[in-house]
Structure 1
Amino acid sequence: MDRKVQKITSMPNYKSIYKDMIEQKFPDKLNDCKKIMEKASLCALDIILLNKIIFLEKTSDTELFNQRHRSYDEKSIIKILDYQKKHELNNMQLARVYKLSRNTIAKWKKQYG
């Protein structure tokens, strides 16, 4: 099934959501997340990083479920492709780093690269 990059017109205010979550439920992780939370706006990669910092529990079932429901905006896709160029990675290596499909990366390179 061919998927297209979703144009997001209205995004939730992730900064406010994560700020409240960290302050109320995880105040011990406030210092770890401070640098990311100081940004003017959060992109998809920032949100994924915050999730990793806050929820350290990693089981293969939840990780697989979460991976299937991720979506990346154009800004995040371009950052991922820039990371590939900067570190001189092939599609397989980049796929391992970001836990993506090699086919997804190839498709992104055709569209944005």
Structure 2
Amino acid sequence: MIPDYKKIYSDLIEEKYPEKMNECIKILKKKNFGVLDVISIHNILSEGSKKDVDIFNQYHRAYDEKTVKIYLQYQVDHKLSNNQLSKHFKITRNSIARWKKQFPEYD
């Protein structure tokens, strides 16, 4: 069972960030609310936050198979190295290397 992130973020925005509702409403209205949507809303809400908080959050991200494949396909489409992809999405190079071993069709 996964948490209802759509409901969690809707409540969070209403209570703590009502001024950012307009930026997030398009994402919250999506029928299929996925991991990439959670990351997008989190980035909107954490704009201007301290770098330490962002680094902490990077270590606690979890990616489902669909999201991993989207990232790896993005790398193939844009002809990026692991290093470039890691900087673009703020993911460790080790994670990308591990994903490529799991999904050799993207290597």
TM-score in terms of structure 1 length: 0.83
The answer to whether structure 1 residue 16 and structure 2 residue 39 are counterparts is no
Which structure 1 residue ranges, 4+ long, deviate > 6 Å from structure 2?
Answer: none
User: Which position in structure 1 is the counterpart of 2:52?
Assistant: 61
Structure 1 residue runs of 5 or longer lacking an equivalent are 1-9
Two-structure CA RMSD over aligned residues (Å): 1.4
Larger mean Cα displacement after TM superposition, 88-97 or 16-25: 16-25
Query: Structure 1 residue aligned with 2:39, among 48, 68, 74?
Result: 48
CA distance in 2, matches of 1:72, 1:51: 14
User: Which position in structure 2 is the counterpart of 1:3?
Assistant: none
CA distance in 1, matches of 2:39, 2:52: 17
Structure 2 residue runs of 5 or longer lacking an equivalent are none
Deviations 1:10-60 (A, max 9, x none): 110000111111122222211111221121232222111101101213322
User: Which position in structure 2 is the counterpart of 1:72?
Assistant: 63
Percent identity over the alignment?
45
Greater share of helix:
2
TM-score in terms of structure 2 length: 0.87
Counterpart residue identity of residue 24, structure 1: E
Higher relative contact order (CA 8 A, sep 6+): 1
Aligned length: 104
CA distance in 2, matches of 1:95, 1:55: 20
